Amino acid sequence: ENVVTKNPALSRNSANIFILKRKVQRIQLLNNLLHNKAMYQEYLNQLQISLAPLSSDELKDLLNDDEKLDEKVNEVLETLKTQKDNLLIENRTKAESNIEKEPKIIELRGKVNELLEEAKAHCEAVQEKLAEVKAKSGDVSQETALALLQTAAAESEEATEASIKQLTDNEIGVEAFLDDFLVARKTMHLRKLKAEKMQEIMRRQTQAAQRGSIGNVMPGYGNLLPNSGFYPAPGLPGMGGGSVPYPLGPMMPMPPPRPY
């Protein structure tokens, strides 16, 4: 019979080769993590959190014990897998919620588009009205506009008087008179009110312009010429004589003495 004998040295060499391969694989894994730090940043963070509480002796034991090291790596991977599953569930929930809201979003988007179109139409109408007003007003001055308002107010007053005359002459009935009279009277009062308001605005503008011109023409006491009294200095054009330190002009007569 052939007896197969086990060689203890061969068994130890096989175990050492297996351990060496495992260490080489770990080294390669660490190199991949270091070279792809951005990709495995979350894994490195979890690994650092897991290894931070361990002491130096515990780290040495972990490095020399393959089973403990594999267990620690699996814990980190399990944590990452749990986080991944939670993210997937959260994303799925948000996606389902977005799908449910999609019809409402489409409806609201349509309403927004309708409101935009409506606002655009109103804006164009306003621009047309402004252009029409500018074209009609032209270069009309304030005085011309005031005269037109006063003339229109007078015409409205004449229309009310004409309605009264027609009523007294029995040319129109009371109901027709009231309709015409009230409309004409209301128009007359509105035009008169606008004319009065415009007159007030023009009067204020004129007064403000006059105050500004007076303030620019009349000098203050600080702007008086040297050696000039209440009258112009003699050296100015149109005046004769030399410069004197007192004002020139007609002398006021002294009051007569009072009898005792």
Q: Give the model's pLDDT for residue 237.
A: 45
96 is in which domain, residue-wise? 8-101
| Domain end among 101, 131, 159 | 101
Taking only the tens of pLDDT, the chain with its 260 residues reads 334 444 554 555 565 566 666 666 666 666 665 555 555 566 667 666 766 776 777 777 766 777 777 777 777 778 778 888 888 999 999 999 888 888 888 999 999 999 999 999 999 999 888 888 777 766 667 777 778 878 888 888 888 888 788 778 887 777 887 877 888 888 888 888 888 888 888 888 888 888 776 655 554 444 444 444 444 444 444 444 444 444 444 454 545 555 54
| Domain end among 194, 213, 232 | 213
**52, 63, 72 from 76: Cα distances, Å:** 13, 16, 6
Count of other CB atoms within 10 angstroms of residue 117: 10
Are residues 12 and 97 located together in one domain of the fold?
yes
In tens, the pLDDT along 190-230 reads: 888 888 888 888 888 888 888 776 655 554 444 444 444 44
pTM over 0.95: no
38 found inside a domain: yes
240 found inside a domain: no
Q: Give the model's pLDDT for residue 196.
A: 87
101 HSE (CA, 13 A, CB side): 9
- Domain count along the chain: 2
| Domain end among 213, 233, 248 | 213
Q: Give the model's pLDDT for residue 120.
A: 93
197 found inside a domain: yes
Rounded distance, CA 190 to CA 187, Å?
5
198 found inside a domain: yes
201 found inside a domain: yes
Are residues 97 and 145 located together in one domain of the fold?
no
156 found inside a domain: yes
Count of other CB atoms within 10 angstroms of residue 77: 13
Angle at CA of residue 69, ends 63 and 72, nearest 5° = 135
37 found inside a domain: yes
Token match 């990452």: residue?
80
In the 8-state DSSP scheme, what is residue 4?
P
12 HSE (CA, 13 A, CB side): 3
Rounded distance, CA 133 to CA 207, Å?
29
Tokens coding 13: 């060499």
93 found inside a domain: yes
Rounded distance, CA 37 to CA 229, Å?
94
